[in-house]
C-alpha cells in the first residue's frame, strides 16, 4: 500500500457512504488504484522520498559536461553529492531551475 492522494473519509463524505467493512476495502482499493494511475500518467510522485540515487556519466544525453539532467527523478533538496567517490561541496553545484524550483530537474 503506497501513499494515497485522498483519504477514505474524504471519499465517504463525498459519496455519503455509511461505515461498513466491505465499503472500506473497496474504497481502499480504488484509492490505491487511482493514486498509482495518477503517478503513471504524469510520470512523477507528489510526495517526498528520501533515497540514494545513482546516474551514469557520461550519459546518453547531449548535455553539457557540467549539467546532469535528472529526468523523472526530480529533487526538492540534496543532502550530499559525490562523483567518483569524491564529495562535492554544496557551494560547488546549483540545483536548477533555481527561479522556479523546487522541484529541480537538473544539477549544474
* Structural domain for 24, as ranges: 8-42
Does residue 63 belong to any structural domain of this protein? yes
Domain co-membership, 38 together with 64: no
Q: Are residues 54 and 71 in the same domain?
A: yes
pLDDT at residue 17 is higher than 80: no
Residues 79 and 101 in one domain: yes
Dist. CA 89–CA 80, nearest whole Å: 8
The C-alpha cell of 71 is what?
A: 529526468
CB 103 within 8 A of CB 76: yes
| In a shared domain, residues 36 and 86 | no
Q: Any idea of the CA torsion for 30, 31, 36, 41, to the nearest 10 degrees?
A: 80
Q: How far from chain centre, in Å, is Cα 72? A: 8
Overall number of domains in the chain: 2
Q: What is the mean pLDDT of residues 39-55?
A: 85
Distance CA 10, CA 13 (A): 5
- What pLDDT is recorded for position 45? 83
4 and 32 in contact (C-beta within 8 Å)? yes
Q: Write down the mean pLDDT value for the chain.
A: 84
Amino acid at each position: 500500500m503506497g501513499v494515497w492522494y485522498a483519504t477514505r473519509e474524504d471519499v465517504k463524505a463525498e459519496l455519503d457512504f455509511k461505515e461498513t467493512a466491505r465499503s472500506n476495502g473497496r474504497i481502499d482499493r480504488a484509492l490505491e488504484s487511482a493514486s498509482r494511475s495518477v503517478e503513471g500518467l504524469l510520470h512523477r510522485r507528489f510526495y517526498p522520498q528520501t533515497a540514494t540515487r545513482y546516474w551514469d556519466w557520461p550519459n546518453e544525453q547531449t548535455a553539457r559536461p557540467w549539467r546532469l539532467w535528472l529526468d523523472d527523478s526530480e529533487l526538492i533538496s540534496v543532502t550530499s553529492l559525490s562523483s567518483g567517490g569524491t564529495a562535492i561541496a554544496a557551494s560547488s553545484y546549483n540545483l536548477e531551475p533555481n527561479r522556479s524550483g523546487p522541484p529541480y530537474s537538473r544539477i549544474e
